[in-house]
Amino acid sequence: MTETPKHLPPEALDAWLAEAKRVLEIDDEIDIAALLDVAKDVAHNVARPAAPLTTFALGLALGRRSSATGSPEAFSRLAELVTARALSWEQES
């Protein structure tokens, strides 16, 4: 028996994200829609398995910045860089 995949809008993920943040002991705001957009662009232009790897790398890069630069603006800048690279990837491969 196969399990039906769950397709939820970003706002439906709020409860899960709140629990994950509690477990990970973080209280930072996370722009779910923007993060999912990065994952979508990477999945469609690079490869599906690259999406979680890229979002992990994005989080790692953001986490390595000091708390002073770990702002929503820093996330947006890094997300834009990764998205731009993903969108150009298919053209180069």
- Enter the tokens of residue 80: 């834009």
pLDDT of residue 91: 66
Domain ranges of the chain: 27-92
Whether the CB-CB separation of 30 and 16 falls below 8 Å is answered with no
Looking at per-residue pLDDT, the higher value among 12 and 62 belongs to 62
Q: Is the pLDDT of residue 46 over 90?
A: yes
CB 25 within 8 A of CB 16: no
Instruction: Give the tokens for residue 35.
Output: 């993060």
Percentage of the chain with pLDDT > 90? 52
